[in-house]
């Protein structure tokens, strides 16, 4: 146990890095994903096309490849993110946004079309109809699938380990390299650290799901 | 702001619409005067609901022209939204906003579209809910109300916009028989108060009591158009005679 205490600063920093990777890219993914979804249901065909193209590209590309591209690929066109952390956030957010958009779109499809029709008949424009009537109802039905996306994102942060961000999985690699005899203990500590993020999330998702359950 | 005198409030001229191969509206010409109550009847698939929905462009049309209060229906965007706000619509399936309370359902349009203050919108909403007899339900959600109550709220929601004309698309077809009358009474009240109304319905009793004119549709065409007395007692077309014999003799 003294081994864990000795390495506490590393583990703590790694945990906080993982957590902030997940939270920051989660928020960005939610924003981008919502915009993408708005584009995908808009009456403007080029917007629909562009958003669908985006989603299909990112949904069907391995996350590691997205990381590679943002870390090294864009240097070719003289672009670079200021820090490795930001590179990781960008990769995670751009990738996860595609899944957020898919979840939201399925939620929008679950809102009866009569709801949007009634809003349009009142004189609400496209943005108001989407923002006041359709999305709030869609968000409620997408809590479970968005929860899955969030948990997947929390675990996907581990890819950043391969791109020189010292988060939990990188800490795992470093500690096991240096302390081969403590392998199980290190594994245990890292798994517990991930669970500290994902288990309360799963519980919270359940609470939100019950709170927002919609009356039909 | 073109409230000219002789001009009809709603004017459809040469309106045609196709659903793929199906020619659902064929050369529809219809003029509705201010304060007139027009009941549209006809068999299923005759195009009567589609006709109703084209008037606020929930359905687009391929040919022809629709004008409301002298203004041609714009294609999309802000102008269409503004025009729609002057046209109240009541749906067969009520379509109350499921995540909003009854009061919020009625205040939403005035607040979002007209920019009315929340206090004013709520005051007016409570008056309207009182008028349609559901004021006690103001803080409930739509799913907690009966179908008849929901439909009366839907009427109040449309009225809150002070529309120039109200469209009713089979407003009682999804209701239990015992709830139909409470909705019809509200509609008859509106007709008495001089509201311009287009009502797609199977309720012949309503047509007799409240309509100025009955429009009979079949196969996407207006077959006959007459005052209710003439239409029900002495229809001219064979199709209308056949239709009436089927629905009135049982």
Chain B CB within 8 Å of residue A136 CB: yes
Backbone angles phi, psi at B197, to 5 degrees: -135, 140
Q: Do the beta carbons of residue B106 and residue A118 sit within 8 Å?
A: no
Instruction: Name the token pair of A123.
Output: 């004189």
With an 8 Å Cβ cutoff, is A211 touching chain B? no
Nearest CA to CA, how far is B26 from chain A (Å)? 24
Pair B137, B102: CB distance under 8 Å: yes
ipTM field: 0.90
Average pLDDT over residues B135-152: 95
For position B223, what pLDDT does the model report? Answer: 94
Average per-residue pLDDT in chain B?
92
Residues 6+ apart with CB under 8 A from B202: B41, B170, B172, B173, B247
Which tens digit of pLDDT belongs to each residue from A75-126? 888 788 888 999 999 999 999 999 999 999 999 999 999 999 999 999 999 8
Nearest to B32 by CA among B68, B56, B65, B64: B68
Q: What is the pTM of this model?
A: 0.79
If we measure between CA atoms, which residue out of A63, A27, A28, A42 comes closest to residue A105?
A42
Measured from the Cβ of residue A103, the count of other Cβ atoms closer than 10 Å reads 23
Contact B113 A140 (CB under 8 A): no
Query: How many Å apart are CA A85 and CA A90, to the nearest integer?
Result: 9
Number of domains in chain A: 1
Question: Using CB atoms, which residue from A112, A132, A140 is nearest to B112?
Answer: A132
Q: What's A74's domain CATH number?
A: 1.10.3720.10
Residues A138/A110, Cβ–Cβ less than 8 Å = yes
Q: What does the buried/exposed string (b/e) look like for A180-209 if buried means 16 or more CB atoms within 10 Å of the residue's CB?
A: eebeeebeebbeebbeebeeebeeebeebe
On average, the pLDDT of chain A sits at: 89
For residue range A15-73, list pLDDT tens digits in order: 999 999 999 999 999 999 999 999 998 888 999 999 999 999 999 999 999 999 998 88
Residue B196: name the closest of B37, B60, B83 by CA.
B37
What pLDDT, on a 0 to 100 scale, did the predictor assign at position A164? 82
In DSSP terms, B40 is beta-bridged to B200, B215
Where does the pLDDT of residue B250 fall: very low under 50, low under 70, confident under 90, or very high at 90 and above?
A: low
| B215 alpha-carbon distance from chain centroid | 14
- Chain B: residue nearest A129 by CA? B112
User: In angstroms, rounded to a whole number, what is the distance separating the alpha carbons of residues B71 and B78?
Assistant: 14
3-state helix, strand, coil in chain B (%, to 5): 40, 25, 35
Q: Provide the pLDDT for residue B5.
A: 55
Distance separating the N- and C-terminal Cα atoms of chain B: 48
- Window from A77-81, A106-110, A152-156, B42-46 with minimum mean pLDDT: A77-81
Question: What share of chain A in percent tops pLDDT 70?
Answer: 98
Tally Cβ neighbours within 10 Å of residue B80: 17
Nearest-by-CA chain A residue for B109:
A122
Binary contact (B84, A123; C-beta < 8 A): yes
The pLDDT value given to residue B102: 97
Q: Does A9 touch chain B (CB under 8 A)?
A: no
Least confident range of A180-184, B67-71, B86-90, B136-140? A180-184
The CA-to-CA distance between both ends of chain A, in Å, stands at 54
Contacts of B209 (CB under 8 A, 6+ apart): B188
A185-203 pLDDT, tens digit per residue, is: 888 988 999 999 999 988 9
Residue span of the structural domain in which A121 resides: 2-212
Q: Which residues of B touch A (CB under 8 A)?
A: 56, 58, 76-78, 81-89, 91, 93, 95-99, 108-109, 112-113, 141-144, 154, 157-158, 161
In this structure, what token pair is assigned to residue B176?
Answer: 């239990």
Instruction: List beta partners, residue B196.
Output: B165
């Amino acid at each position: 146990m003294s081994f864990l205490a000795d390495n506490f600063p590393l583990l703590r920093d790694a945990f906080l890095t993982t957590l902030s990777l997940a939270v920051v890219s989660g928020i960005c993914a939610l924003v981008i994903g919502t915009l993408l979804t708005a584009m995908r249901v808009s009456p403007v065909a080029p917007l629909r096309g562009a958003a669908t193209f985006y989603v299909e590209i990112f949904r069907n590309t391995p996350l590691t490849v997205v990381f590679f591209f943002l870390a090294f690929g864009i240097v070719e066109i003289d672009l670079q993110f200021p820090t490795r952390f930001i590179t990781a956030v960008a990769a995670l957010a751009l990738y996860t946004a595609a899944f957020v958009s898919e979840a939201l779109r399925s939620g929008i499809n679950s809102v009866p079309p009569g709801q949007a029709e009634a809003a349009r008949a009142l004189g609400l424009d496209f943005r108001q109809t989407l923002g006041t009537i359709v999305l709030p109802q869609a968000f409620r039905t997408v809590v479970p699938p968005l929860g899955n996306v969030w948990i997947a994102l929390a675990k996907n942060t581990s890819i950043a380990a391969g791109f020189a961000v010292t988060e939990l999985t990188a800490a795992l690699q470093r500690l096991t390299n240096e302390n081969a005899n403590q392998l199980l203990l290190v594994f245990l500590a890292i798994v517990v650290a991930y669970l500290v993020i994902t288990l309360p999330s799963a519980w919270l998702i359940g609470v939100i799901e019950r709170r927002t359950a919609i009356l039909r | 702001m073109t409230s000219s005198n002789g001009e009809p409030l709603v004017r459809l001229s040469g309106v045609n619409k196709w659903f793929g191969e199906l020619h659902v509206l064929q050369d529809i010409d219809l003029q509705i005067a201010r304060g007139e109550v027009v009941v549209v009847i006809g068999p299923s698939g005759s195009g009567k609901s589609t006709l109703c929905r084209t008037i606020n462009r929930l359905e687009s049309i391929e040919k022809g022209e629709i004008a409301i209060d002298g203004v041609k229906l714009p294609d999309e965007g802000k102008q269409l939204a503004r025009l729609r706000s002057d046209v109240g619509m009541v749906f067969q399936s009520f379509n109350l906003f499921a995540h909003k309370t009854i009061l919020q359902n009625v205040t939403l349009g005035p607040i979002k579209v007209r920019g009315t203050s929340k206090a004013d919108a709520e005051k007016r909403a409570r008056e309207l809910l009182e008028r349609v007899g559901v004021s006690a339900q103001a803080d409930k959600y739509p799913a907690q109300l009966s179908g008849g109550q929901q439909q009366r709220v839907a009427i109040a929601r449309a009225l809150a916009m002070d529309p120039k004309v109200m469209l009713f698309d089979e407003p009682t077809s999804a209701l239990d028989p015992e709830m139909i009358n409470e909705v019809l009474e509200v509609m008859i009240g509106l007709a008495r108060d001089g509201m311009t109304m287009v009502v797609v319905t199977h309720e012949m009793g309503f047509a007799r009591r409240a309509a100025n004119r009955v429009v009979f549709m079949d196969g996407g065409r207006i077959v006959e158009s007459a005052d209710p007395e003439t239409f029900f007692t002495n229809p001219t077309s064979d199709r209308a005679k056949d239709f009436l014999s089927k629905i009135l003799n049982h």
